[in-house]
Chains A and B, each alone.
Chain A
Amino acid sequence: AQRVTQPEKLLSVFKGAPVELKCNYSYSGSPELFWYVQYSRQRLQLLLRHISRESIKGFTADLNKGETSFHLKKPFAQEEDSAMYYCALRSGGYNKLIFGAGTRLAVHP
Protein backbone atom coordinates (compact mmCIF):
# COMPACT_ATOMS: atom_id res chain seq x y z
CA ALA A 1 0.00 0.00 0.00
CA GLN A 2 1.13 3.54 -0.68
CA ARG A 3 1.66 5.36 2.55
CA VAL A 4 3.53 8.30 4.07
CA THR A 5 4.52 8.19 7.73
CA GLN A 6 5.59 11.15 9.81
CA PRO A 7 6.38 9.66 13.21
CA GLU A 8 6.52 12.91 15.20
CA LYS A 9 3.41 14.99 15.83
CA LEU A 10 5.44 17.74 17.47
CA LEU A 11 9.06 18.77 17.26
CA SER A 12 10.14 21.48 19.67
CA VAL A 13 13.56 23.13 19.35
CA PHE A 14 15.32 26.34 20.32
CA LYS A 15 16.32 28.99 17.83
CA GLY A 16 19.64 28.16 16.21
CA ALA A 17 19.35 24.42 16.82
CA PRO A 18 19.39 21.92 13.95
CA VAL A 19 16.07 20.52 12.79
CA GLU A 20 15.21 17.19 11.19
CA LEU A 21 11.60 16.36 10.36
CA LYS A 22 11.25 12.68 9.57
CA CYS A 23 9.30 11.22 6.66
CA ASN A 24 9.14 7.59 5.57
CA TYR A 25 7.18 6.29 2.63
CA SER A 26 5.89 3.06 1.17
CA TYR A 27 5.60 2.98 -2.63
CA SER A 28 6.20 0.43 -5.34
CA GLY A 29 7.87 2.23 -8.18
CA SER A 30 9.87 5.39 -8.57
CA PRO A 31 8.57 7.87 -5.98
CA GLU A 32 8.17 11.61 -6.24
CA LEU A 33 8.22 13.28 -2.84
CA PHE A 34 7.36 16.72 -1.61
CA TRP A 35 7.32 18.79 1.55
CA TYR A 36 4.39 21.14 2.11
CA VAL A 37 4.21 23.77 4.85
CA GLN A 38 1.35 25.59 6.51
CA TYR A 39 2.19 28.67 8.56
CA SER A 40 -0.31 29.95 11.10
CA ARG A 41 -3.43 31.33 9.39
CA GLN A 42 -1.96 30.71 5.93
CA ARG A 43 -2.65 28.25 3.18
CA LEU A 44 -0.91 24.98 2.60
CA GLN A 45 1.96 25.62 0.20
CA LEU A 46 4.73 23.70 -1.47
CA LEU A 47 8.11 24.02 0.26
CA LEU A 48 10.25 21.77 -1.88
CA ARG A 49 10.26 18.70 -4.09
CA HIS A 50 12.94 16.07 -4.29
CA ILE A 51 13.44 16.21 -8.05
CA SER A 52 14.58 19.82 -7.97
CA ARG A 53 17.21 19.16 -5.26
CA GLU A 54 16.97 22.75 -4.13
CA SER A 55 17.28 24.50 -0.80
CA ILE A 56 14.30 26.64 0.16
CA LYS A 57 14.46 28.92 3.22
CA GLY A 58 17.51 26.94 4.30
CA PHE A 59 15.66 23.61 4.22
CA THR A 60 16.91 20.61 2.27
CA ALA A 61 15.59 17.08 1.85
CA ASP A 62 17.32 14.09 0.31
CA LEU A 63 15.50 11.06 -1.02
CA ASN A 64 17.00 7.86 0.40
CA LYS A 65 15.48 4.98 -1.55
CA GLY A 66 17.30 2.37 0.54
CA GLU A 67 15.71 3.62 3.75
CA THR A 68 12.55 4.84 1.97
CA SER A 69 12.95 8.20 3.67
CA PHE A 70 12.73 11.87 2.74
CA HIS A 71 13.68 13.73 5.89
CA LEU A 72 13.57 17.54 5.95
CA LYS A 73 16.59 19.25 7.47
CA LYS A 74 17.74 22.72 8.41
CA PRO A 75 21.03 23.41 10.20
CA PHE A 76 19.86 26.44 12.21
CA ALA A 77 16.17 26.84 13.02
CA GLN A 78 14.54 30.28 13.06
CA GLU A 79 11.39 31.31 14.93
CA GLU A 80 9.66 31.98 11.61
CA ASP A 81 10.08 28.30 10.73
CA SER A 82 7.37 27.43 13.26
CA ALA A 83 4.61 25.80 11.23
CA MET A 84 2.95 22.54 10.29
CA TYR A 85 4.99 20.44 7.86
CA TYR A 86 3.52 17.71 5.66
CA CYS A 87 5.41 15.16 3.63
CA ALA A 88 3.60 14.01 0.48
CA LEU A 89 4.04 11.32 -2.14
CA ARG A 90 2.84 11.64 -5.74
CA SER A 91 0.98 8.50 -6.70
CA GLY A 92 -0.05 7.37 -10.14
CA GLY A 93 -0.27 9.34 -13.35
CA TYR A 94 -2.77 12.02 -12.33
CA ASN A 95 -0.82 14.05 -9.77
CA LYS A 96 -2.57 12.43 -6.81
CA LEU A 97 -0.83 13.37 -3.57
CA ILE A 98 -0.78 11.14 -0.50
CA PHE A 99 0.00 13.17 2.62
CA GLY A 100 1.45 12.19 5.95
CA ALA A 101 -0.26 13.27 9.16
CA GLY A 102 2.09 16.20 9.59
CA THR A 103 4.62 17.40 12.15
CA ARG A 104 4.24 20.64 14.04
CA LEU A 105 7.58 22.41 14.36
CA ALA A 106 7.82 24.86 17.25
CA VAL A 107 10.95 27.01 17.40
CA HIS A 108 11.41 28.78 20.72
CA PRO A 109 13.47 31.94 21.25
Chain B
Amino acid sequence: EAGVAQSPRYKIIEKRQSVAFWCNPISGHATLYWYQQILGQGPKLLIQFQNNGVVDDSQLPKDRFSAERLKGVDSTLKIQPAKLEDSAVYLCASSFSGNNEQFFGPGTRLTVL
Protein backbone atom coordinates (compact mmCIF):
# COMPACT_ATOMS: atom_id res chain seq x y z
CA GLU B 1 0.00 0.00 0.00
CA ALA B 2 1.14 3.57 -0.60
CA GLY B 3 2.58 5.27 2.42
CA VAL B 4 1.96 8.68 3.93
CA ALA B 5 2.85 11.40 1.45
CA GLN B 6 4.17 14.84 2.34
CA SER B 7 5.17 17.89 0.36
CA PRO B 8 7.31 19.79 -0.04
CA ARG B 9 10.29 17.79 1.17
CA TYR B 10 12.38 20.88 1.82
CA LYS B 11 11.54 24.53 2.36
CA ILE B 12 13.71 27.54 3.11
CA ILE B 13 12.06 30.81 4.13
CA GLU B 14 12.96 33.98 5.94
CA LYS B 15 11.61 34.80 9.36
CA ARG B 16 8.18 36.45 9.40
CA GLN B 17 7.23 34.71 6.14
CA SER B 18 4.43 32.16 5.88
CA VAL B 19 4.71 28.50 4.92
CA ALA B 20 2.34 25.58 4.44
CA PHE B 21 2.89 21.85 4.47
CA TRP B 22 0.65 19.20 2.98
CA CYS B 23 0.01 15.63 4.06
CA ASN B 24 -1.91 12.80 2.43
CA PRO B 25 -2.41 9.89 4.84
CA ILE B 26 -2.73 6.21 4.03
CA SER B 27 -6.12 5.49 2.48
CA GLY B 28 -8.70 4.58 5.09
CA HIS B 29 -6.74 5.95 8.04
CA ALA B 30 -9.03 8.02 10.22
CA THR B 31 -6.39 9.47 12.53
CA LEU B 32 -3.77 11.96 11.38
CA TYR B 33 -0.93 13.46 13.38
CA TRP B 34 1.50 16.34 12.86
CA TYR B 35 4.80 16.22 14.73
CA GLN B 36 7.62 18.73 15.00
CA GLN B 37 11.14 17.34 15.29
CA ILE B 38 13.83 19.85 16.19
CA LEU B 39 17.42 18.80 15.53
CA GLY B 40 18.69 16.56 18.32
CA GLN B 41 15.25 15.92 19.76
CA GLY B 42 12.54 13.34 19.31
CA PRO B 43 9.30 14.12 17.50
CA LYS B 44 6.81 16.21 19.46
CA LEU B 45 3.08 15.98 18.71
CA LEU B 46 1.60 19.27 17.54
CA ILE B 47 -1.92 18.23 16.62
CA GLN B 48 -4.00 15.07 16.19
CA PHE B 49 -7.12 14.72 14.06
CA GLN B 50 -9.76 12.02 14.25
CA ASN B 51 -11.42 12.24 10.82
CA ASN B 52 -11.81 16.02 10.45
CA GLY B 53 -12.06 16.83 14.16
CA VAL B 54 -9.21 17.88 16.44
CA VAL B 55 -8.67 15.57 19.44
CA ASP B 56 -5.41 17.07 20.76
CA ASP B 57 -3.76 20.36 19.93
CA SER B 58 -2.37 21.10 23.38
CA GLN B 59 1.17 21.64 22.10
CA LEU B 60 0.31 23.63 18.98
CA PRO B 61 1.49 27.28 19.22
CA LYS B 62 -1.88 28.61 18.15
CA ASP B 63 -0.72 32.20 17.77
CA ARG B 64 1.26 31.21 14.68
CA PHE B 65 0.45 27.60 13.77
CA SER B 66 -2.80 26.35 12.29
CA ALA B 67 -3.88 23.04 10.79
CA GLU B 68 -6.93 21.73 9.06
CA ARG B 69 -8.28 18.48 7.70
CA LEU B 70 -11.44 19.62 6.01
CA LYS B 71 -12.67 16.44 4.33
CA GLY B 72 -11.15 14.00 6.78
CA VAL B 73 -8.42 13.00 4.34
CA ASP B 74 -5.62 15.44 3.41
CA SER B 75 -4.28 17.92 5.91
CA THR B 76 -2.33 21.17 5.79
CA LEU B 77 -0.19 22.70 8.51
CA LYS B 78 0.54 26.41 8.28
CA ILE B 79 2.98 28.67 10.07
CA GLN B 80 2.36 32.41 9.93
CA PRO B 81 4.64 34.20 10.67
CA ALA B 82 7.62 31.88 10.97
CA LYS B 83 10.32 32.32 13.61
CA LEU B 84 13.89 31.07 13.63
CA GLU B 85 12.99 28.47 16.27
CA ASP B 86 10.47 26.89 13.89
CA SER B 87 13.35 25.36 11.93
CA ALA B 88 12.67 21.63 12.20
CA VAL B 89 11.42 18.57 10.38
CA TYR B 90 7.65 18.39 10.28
CA LEU B 91 6.38 14.83 10.26
CA CYS B 92 2.93 13.67 9.34
CA ALA B 93 1.68 10.28 10.49
CA SER B 94 -1.56 8.37 10.19
CA SER B 95 -3.20 5.39 11.84
CA PHE B 96 -6.29 3.33 11.11
CA SER B 97 -7.83 4.46 14.36
CA GLY B 98 -6.77 6.07 17.59
CA ASN B 99 -5.12 2.99 19.04
CA ASN B 100 -3.32 1.53 16.07
CA GLU B 101 0.25 1.74 14.80
CA GLN B 102 1.24 5.14 13.46
CA PHE B 103 2.80 5.24 10.00
CA PHE B 104 5.07 8.18 9.29
CA GLY B 105 5.69 10.21 6.18
CA PRO B 106 9.14 11.29 4.96
CA GLY B 107 8.86 14.70 6.60
CA THR B 108 9.33 18.28 5.46
CA ARG B 109 12.57 19.94 6.50
CA LEU B 110 11.96 23.64 7.19
CA THR B 111 14.79 26.12 7.51
CA VAL B 112 13.94 29.62 8.72
CA LEU B 113 16.66 32.20 8.03
Residues of chain A touching chain B, judged by Cβ–Cβ distance below 8 Å, are 4, 9, 43-46, 86, 88, 92-102
Contact = CB atoms under 8 A, between A and B. Distances in A.
Interface stretch (B20-28, B72-80, B95-103): B95-103
B40 interface: yes
B95 A95 contact: yes
A73 B95 CA distance: 27
Contact of A95 (B48, B103, B107): B48
Contacts of B101: 46
Contacts of A99: 42-44
B70 interface: no
B108 interface: no
Contacts of A92: 56
Given A94-B48, A99-B44, A101-B40, A44 B104 contact: yes
Interface string B77-111: 00000000000000100010011111111110000
Contacts of B8: none
A86 B104 CA distance: 13
Contacts of B50: 94
Kindly name the residue among A4, A9, A98 whose own CB sees the greatest number of chain B CB atoms within 10 A: A98
Contacts of A44: 43, 91, 104
Contact of A97 (B3, B102, B106, B107): B102
14 contacts: A46-B102, A86-B43, A92-B56, A94-B50, A94-B55, A94-B56, A95-B99, A96-B48, A96-B56, A97-B45, A97-B102, A98-B45, A99-B42, A101-B41
Contacts of B45: 96-98
Nearest to B31: A95
A26 B40 CA distance: 20
B42 A100 contact: yes
Contact of A45 (B41, B56, B104, B107): B104
